[in-house]
Amino acid sequence: MRLSGRAFIILLAIVGLGIIAATDQVLPATSEHQAQLRIWLAARAAGITAYVLLTIQVLLGLLLSHPTNQTTWRLSRHLFPWHENAWIFVLAFLGAHIVTVVVDPWAGVGIGGAIVPGLSSYRSSAVALGTLGLYALLITGFTARYTRRLPAGVWLKIHRLSLGVFILAWLHGVLAGTDTSGLMPLYLATGAAVLIASAYRYWVVRRARLSPAHRDPALATVEVSAR
């Protein structure tokens, strides 16, 4: 099932209402400082959730594009809807993360810092990495979602930059968060998972390209006939 634009808006509204309920309505703040801290916690929670979902999406993409999946695993029919819709959930929580960061007066980011790299007064370089990651995510996501409106093969070339989106998100989370030390096991685990999956896929593709059958089509025909 492919989520539509209307479904995305509904999902974003549900996420927003959930944040409001969790940060104010369920247990109202007893002081202004506590209220501001809850906004920051909501922003951090939404950002971490978006990052974890992005990790899952990237891992699914690596699995779907793996050469063995095309010949042996054949998991595309089952996994592709999850990979495609994960992008919608990433955007929903990312939108909640950006909004809560912007409205938090203590965050030091503001609208300008959220949309223009380098304008944030809080860790401008780290926040800029997140902004660049957001734009890269939108480009890779929309080009993949509307492939028929682009020249053949263009979306795939752009989509290969998805690994760069993850790297930007990883660096943003590590460098921008004040609680990075506590979350370092998460960052190391997710980073290692994507690194290993990427390296394994690259190794399989490279081995296939260096095989005699790949270098000489005639040899491949002979091997197939011998079998």
* 124 and 105 belong to one structural domain: yes
Dist. CA 164–CA 151, nearest whole Å: 22
Average per-residue pLDDT for the chain: 78
Write the DSSP assignment of 33-69 as a string of letters.
HHHHHHHHHHHHHHHHHHHHHHHHHHHHHHHHT-HHI
* 114 and 212 belong to one structural domain: no
Q: So what's the pLDDT on residue 173? A: 93
Dist. CA 98–CA 196, nearest whole Å: 30
Dist. CA 218–CA 58, nearest whole Å: 36
* 95 and 60 belong to one structural domain: yes
Residue 24 has pLDDT above 70, yes or no: no
Strand runs labelled E in 60-99: none
- The total domain count for the chain is 2
pLDDT band at 226 (very low <50, low <70, confident <90, very high): very low
* 88 and 161 belong to one structural domain: yes
Which candidate, 107, 125, 140, places its Cα nearest to that of 40? 107
* 78 and 39 belong to one structural domain: yes
* 162 and 205 belong to one structural domain: no
Instruction: Give pTM, 2 decimals.
Output: 0.76
Average pLDDT over residues 7-31: 63
Residue 48 has pLDDT above 70, yes or no: yes
Residue 134 has pLDDT above 90, yes or no: yes
Rounded CA Rg of the chain: 21
Least confident among 136-145, 151-160, 176-185: 151-160
Give the pLDDT confidence of 55-83 residue by residue, as tens digits.
999 998 888 777 665 666 666 677 777 77
* 54 and 105 belong to one structural domain: yes
Which candidate, 197, 46, 155, places its Cα nearest to that of 107? 46
Boundaries of domain holding 153: 5-185
* 155 and 176 belong to one structural domain: yes
* 170 and 200 belong to one structural domain: no
